[in-house]
Structure 1
């Protein structure tokens, strides 16, 4: 972080990045653990619940965490607009630690229902990413805000590196150890954030309860605005492609390469390391229309996803790692543009809409992908790549329409 950033702002950015790192570390833990656990059909009560196919159970297990994230992302940002960022952040961080402890208990008892409940609750509380983005978007301005949002994305990406790596290095000792470590780290992170962030005055509540605010001001209320509906539809298509990739490339590695937890973790580490590095620079200013840049970035990400679906093991491994580069730039571009363009709607709600869109895509692709994977895991990746291509084309068309409108307006003024 540059030395010219004021100390107060530096502390704000560092605190948000720390909590973002710890949150996604816990969220990403199960991915390299679940694919071999369900893909290899161990015959435990956890992987044979109600006699259902293990791969179908994997799809359900992958779905519930994003379902919780969907609800949390939709409401937590708006709730923090009204009741204060710090208060809601600390509540969700401590609750997330409890969720990891319940996940460990479910694995010990081989209880699939408890596992689903724990992952849902953890996802619900990990929807606090929208709060962190909103906190940076409203307290910072100009280039520093764009850089801070990109650095926060880098922290999230780094969590996707640390989580699988932690799982790969510790699961050999005990399948519950990674979740226990994640719970302890999240509690430590909450304590550090409590010390670092100043108490803030909550917005006017007018006697409302948090559930009343959540019901009336959730992120989907923004879809009444036509430009935000367009953003939702385009971003949703791209997010479906990314979700198909994230959720099923570990299973593809199991099917195609026979990879185990540790090998999957190291592949994921390479992808997330590149993604994190790219996020350090992705917030730089550009004179090009952000939507045109996002179109190119989405197209490159789509090519990487399709390369995994159609390629052999070597091509797929290279594509998995390289995917991190365009995806990091896409996130920085879209989030920075949305923060500038739609600030009047409340940064918590706007950032919540982006997070909610991604969570909804994860749910859709977990369900659809779980069924398609019964036929062939590669089909899931090809469908995901096609949806990312559609998003790239739609984003380019949206940019062209906007440029055309501006040109017509300029001619009329002359």
Structure 2
């Protein structure tokens, strides 16, 4: 197997999964917060900000289900068929999303975003491929590159929207469709055909009994789940609501939001590459110690945005990606090594599921809190990441006998 081609395909599919999630981010805030009535923000005469929060949450709901099921299913039925099916299916989901926006149909938009998120939950399969085919420092670097691709998607999606939206609201989604089809072709070339599965259970039985959340039956994966859930709440609050904060605090439009996002994601992508090299030798208690510090770095960045000062917030938004990239580069390889016996698809599926749960939770909580003040959502997220860092340091001390001597 050509490992370089495999890594390229995994990175491209990871990139496009977050492109799909982030593509509407610069498009939606002006539609819901500009004050001009349309079929999307006037649905059933509900508050536009509430509709905005629901629109943000529904894609992660699909991602949640996809991440929970697709990784473990790929452990049983193979990475190749599931990656190809989800890539081409997500392309169809983008087409339906564009149609819903043209028709200004809020219900159809919600359905389309849910279906697209469901299929783009294949990121856990991409991570499982790398965790399975690489070992040691190469695994850390490979996962960091895949993480960098995920982060880059948060740049490419909004940038694509900002640069092409002037040609029509359908154009950004058309570009994403073409890219997904090409990525599917590359994956077909990169991934070898796998032996036919000997699984005799039905698809429903496998999905029901072998989903990623089954790992929560085990003590250590369950502890990591709750720690990451808190840490990711800070990340999700930031991702979902800093564009709205920019609209309210600085009257930013879609193009200017996209430019800020480009700066932030460019730094985050570069940080992921650097983190893969720097953190490759971290093991055991050292990994948890560093992860705790990086969680606190995330909390600090989100809190600086919550303060409400435009220039401080812009600096924090731009630099947010550094602690976020290092946090993932530290925790994911540690989990892949420590929990490998459960299957890499399930392990990476649980980590993707955790992020999706945090995204849904903060979108729903935020839909209520923004009715009071958008900064309140960011403050809650910062507090959650602060707790995650504190808990990681405590867990490190609890695991000291198993992980070796710690300072």
TM-score of the superposed pair, with normalisation by structure 1: 0.95
Q: What count of residue pairs does the alignment treat as equivalent?
A: 402
In the other structure, the counterpart of 1:256 is 249
What is the alpha-carbon distance in structure 2 between the residues aligned to residue 223 and residue 344 of structure 1? 14
In the other structure, the counterpart of 2:44 is 50
In the other structure, the counterpart of 1:74 is 68
In the TM superposition, what are the counterparts of 1:379-398 in structure 2 within 5 Å? 379-398=376-395
In the other structure, the counterpart of 1:367 is 364
In the other structure, the counterpart of 2:289 is 292
Q: Does 1:148 align with 2:148?
A: no
Shift of 1:405: 5.8
What is the alpha-carbon distance in structure 1 between the residues aligned to residue 404 and residue 199 of structure 2? 44
Q: Does 1:275 align with 2:268?
A: yes
In the other structure, the counterpart of 1:11 is 5
What is the alpha-carbon distance in structure 1 between the residues aligned to residue 56 and residue 196 of structure 2? 35
In the other structure, the counterpart of 1:224 is 217
CA gap of 1:399–1:202, structure 2 versus 1, over 3 A, is: farther
What is the alpha-carbon distance in structure 2 between the residues aligned to residue 335 and residue 202 of structure 1? 30
Shift of 1:209: 2.3
What is the alpha-carbon distance in structure 1 between the residues aligned to residue 102 and residue 195 of structure 2? 43
In the other structure, the counterpart of 2:206 is 213
What is the alpha-carbon distance in structure 2 between the residues aligned to residue 159 and residue 229 of structure 1? 29
In the other structure, the counterpart of 1:348 is 345
Q: Deviations over 1:327-355 (max 9, x none)?
A: 00101111100000000000000000000
CA gap of 1:257–1:89, structure 2 versus 1, over 3 A, is: same
In the other structure, the counterpart of 2:320 is 323
Q: Flag structure 1 segments of 5+ consecutive residues without an equivalent.
A: 1-6
- One of 299, 312, 319 as aligned partner of 1:302: 299
What is the alpha-carbon distance in structure 2 between the residues aligned to residue 262 and residue 339 of structure 1? 39
TM-score of the superposed pair, with normalisation by structure 2: 0.96
Shift of 1:261: 0.1
In the other structure, the counterpart of 2:237 is 244
What is the alpha-carbon distance in structure 1 between the residues aligned to residue 258 and residue 169 of structure 2? 14
In the other structure, the counterpart of 1:107 is 101
Partner of 2:365: helix, strand, or coil? helix
Q: Deviations over 1:275-304 (max 9, x none)?
A: 100111212323662111100000011000
Shift of 1:404: 5.2
What is the alpha-carbon distance in structure 1 between the residues aligned to residue 35 and residue 333 of structure 2? 44
Q: Does 1:399 align with 2:396?
A: yes
2:308–2:375 CA contact under 8 A, matched in 1 = no
Q: Deviations over 1:75-112 (max 9, x none)?
A: 00010000000100000000100000000000011100
Q: Deviations over 1:206-232 (max 9, x none)?
A: 2x2222211110011110001111001
Shift of 1:24: 1.5
Shift of 1:172: 1.2
Q: Does 1:179 align with 2:176?
A: no
What is the alpha-carbon distance in structure 2 between the residues aligned to residue 112 and residue 401 of structure 1? 49
What is the alpha-carbon distance in structure 1 between the residues aligned to residue 102 and residue 204 of structure 2? 34
In the other structure, the counterpart of 1:334 is 331
CA gap of 1:349–1:202, structure 2 versus 1, over 3 A, is: farther
Shift of 1:165: 0.3
